[in-house]
Amino acid sequence: MVATVSGLDSISVGGLAERTGVSKSGILTVFGNREAIQVAAVAEARRIYQEVVIGPAWHLPPGRERLRGLLEAWKDYVLSAVFPGGCFLATTSAEYGRRDGAVADAVRRLEREWLDLLEGELATAGSASPVDDAFRIDALLVAGVTRYQLYGERADLDRGCRLALEVVG
């Protein structure tokens, strides 16, 4: 998805029409406006994230085992370039961190769902501070993927994931 490379702001009616072969008026008939297209892009990224990151780990026992599965699935998600610019959450959270509106709200909800999932699994695993540990895991993953995208060094991604796994225990 172009949003991880050029940002959600790069999504336009014209660009979508060009990529899909549907007229601009046809796109606007479906979505109504550019903001609705961007919110739909976040919803699609959420669906993909659930399928590619959460789904593969969901069958594992809750707690440490599921957390390890989530982190491994997340790493596979980044390495398989599901999104060409890395992790959708990492890129859009940085892009929309200080903004208001429907798109920023959708990005915040998506990030909050991820953090809630981590916090819940950490609580089940016996973490003394699930909120702090979820923060650490998220920060380490974001740092790893950011450096991986910036320098192209898989070791950076591996380091972020390894350190995040150490939080899990």
CB 22 within 8 A of CB 13: no
CATH assignment, 41-168: 1.10.357.10
Rounded Cα distance, 7 and 89, in Å: 11
- Closest of 100, 88, 91, 23 to residue 53, by C-alpha: 88
pLDDT at 32: 78
Q: Give the DSSP letter of residue 61.
A: P
pLDDT at position 60 over 80:
yes
Which residue is associated with the tokens 């610019």?
85
pTM: 0.90
Rounded Cα distance, 131 and 155, in Å: 27
pLDDT at 137: 98
Which residue is associated with the tokens 């972020």?
160
Average pLDDT on 124-131 reads 98
pLDDT at position 156 over 80:
yes
> What ranges do the domains of the chain cover?
41-168
Residue 1 pLDDT class (50, 70, 90 cuts): low
